[in-house]
Every structure is written in structure tokens, then in C-alpha cells.
Amino acid sequence: MDGEAAATVQNGPRTRVLARLRHRFAVAPWGAAAELAARAGYMARGTVYLSIGLIALLAVAGAAPHTRGAVSALQAWSHWPLGNALLWLIGVGLVGFAGWRVLQSVFDADRQGRGPRAWVNRAGQAVSGLIYGSLAVSVFGLIEALHDLRHIHEQAEVRGGVAQIMAWPLGSKVVMAGGLFILACGLGNAIRAVVDNFGSTLRCAPRALPWARRLARVGYFGRGLAMLPAGFFMLIAGWDERAVEARSVGSALWTLHALEFGDTALALIGAGVTAFGAFAFVEAWYRPIRPEAAFIDVI
């Protein structure tokens, strides 16, 4: 083992990630660039969820105004020095993450195979790619809106989109199906928090795996709970054929505020969403990402 390799092993997994990226840029620049984009995407996703979770916790404590969703939470960054630059980085990172989801779902970059469970996972990754790609577009729209001194009203956009779908033939059924899908995703995340190993997709020091698993369980459970109110209101909007009843995730969560123990529920969900954001940074460092595996079968 040469001196550089020995130092890499001694300094741990984080150093190995950086050393491998430097080596790959030298021998396979396109693969290394794709891996770097995917890792930046995980960090961008983490920043989004950290923003939502932390602002939710501050809002419950009365230290910050409540926001109505992911884009509104990110809008808070615009008031900070270099906030627009950070929003650009988040938007570009989300584009990278959406591209990684394409490699996972369409080209099976994780080598999940073609079994029933693999197809379900890949379908979920495809939907995730669409969601984060749309969020990236929204972030870039937010940057433009801030530049033009306008504001994006996320709740109004949700209701406007639902109203357009309602105008389709069987549009109310489509909205109800969307609500059921969101509910299923929320329940799926909560169930995954209990049954998934999480450590199997990480390459980090053994002593770090237990806390990474706990962080993932708290995060996925909180993320799952956060989806349930939005899915419920979407289902009701389709059932009553009233687009005004549809709510974004942030707006749906804020309805808990009026309920008994609602602030406690909001605080727990906020903590869970924050944990999910933190786990995304863990994945950015320690998840094996091999974009070139997506093209093995093609080649």
C-alpha cells in the first residue's frame, strides 16, 4: 500500500470519498462529474428539508413566521447575505438529484434488478425525480420572482393546479387518486422508518452506523407524517370537487395548529423533517454512487 492509500484508509470514509473523486476525475471525468452532481443533489435535498423543519420548529416557538411549503421556506434564505447565491446552488443541486433519480429509476444505477420490489422502488425513484425536478424549477422561479420584487404564493399555485385538473374529464377522480397516492407515500415512509435497515446503503465507519440509522428512522417517520395531512386534504378536494380545499404540505400541516396538542404534533413533525434533511447530508457523504453502473447493460 503506497503512502497516499495508507493515509486515505487512516483518515476515514470522508477522505476516501474525496480521494476517489479526485482519482475518478483523472480517469473518468464524466462519471466523476455525475457522481459529484448526485452528491450535491443529496445536499440540496437536505438543505430543503432542514429549512422546512427548522422554520417549522421556530414557528411553533413563536420565533419565526410560519411558511406554506418548501419554496416559501427557501425564500427565507433570500434575506441572508449571499442568499440568492445559495438558492442558485440549491436549484442546481436539485437538478443534479433529479438526474440521479433518472439513472436510478430508468437505467437501474443501483442494480436493484427486475423483481417486483425493485420495480416499486424504481417507480418511487422516478416520481421522486419528477418532484425534485419540479422543485428545482420552482426555486429558479423564486429567484426570478425575488429579482422582480414579486412573491410566489405556493398555496395559490397548488389550488390553481388542482382546479385545472378538476376541469378534465374525471378530473375529480384524478385529484382523489393523487390524494391517495400522497397518503400512500406518507404511510410508506412511516413504515420504512420501522422496517428498513438504512445502513445497507451507507459506507461509513461501523461506530457511525447506529446513529445514522436512528437519524434515518426519525427522519423518514417525520417525513411520512408530514405528507398525511396534504394527502387527506387532496382526497377531500377531489371528493367534494372543490379545489379550494386542496392544500400544500406546509399549509396542511399548519391546520394542526388549531387542534388540541397541535403545536406538539407540529414540533415533532418539524424535528422529524429536520432529521430527514440531516440524513440527506449523511447520504451525500457515505452513500455509494456509481453512475457508470447505469450503462453497463447498454454497453
**What would the pLDDT profile of 162-220 be if each residue is shown by its tens digit?**
778 777 777 788 888 888 988 998 899 999 999 988 888 888 888 888 999 999 999 99
Task: Please check whether residue 47 is in contact with residue 277, taking contact to mean a CB–CB distance below 8 angstroms.
Answer: yes
50-60: average pLDDT: 79
- Model confidence pLDDT, tens digit, residues 62-75: 655 555 556 666 66
pTM of the model: 0.75
- State the pLDDT confidence band at 13, using cuts at 50, 70 and 90: low
Mean pLDDT across the chain = 77
2 has pLDDT over 60 = no
The residues spanned by each domain of the chain are 13-286
Comparing 58 with 125, the larger pLDDT belongs to 125
**C-alpha separations of 1 from 22, 128, 145 in Å:** 18, 41, 54
Q: Could you give the CA distance from residue 224 to residue 277 in angstroms, rounded to a whole number?
A: 13
Comparing 137 with 63, the larger pLDDT belongs to 137
Least confident of 63-77, 125-139, 190-204, 225-239: 63-77
Determine the pLDDT at residue 82.
Answer: 67
8 has pLDDT over 50 = no
Least confident of 80-84, 100-104, 227-231: 80-84
Q: Could you give the CA distance from residue 269 to residue 296 in angstroms, rounded to a whole number?
A: 41
Comparing 176 with 159, the larger pLDDT belongs to 176
Q: Could you give the CA distance from residue 223 to residue 187 in angstroms, rounded to a whole number?
A: 10
Q: Is 203 helix (H, G, I), strand (E, B) or coil?
A: coil
134 has pLDDT over 70 = yes
| 2, three cell numbers | 503506497
140-144: average pLDDT: 59
Determine the pLDDT at residue 142.
Answer: 56
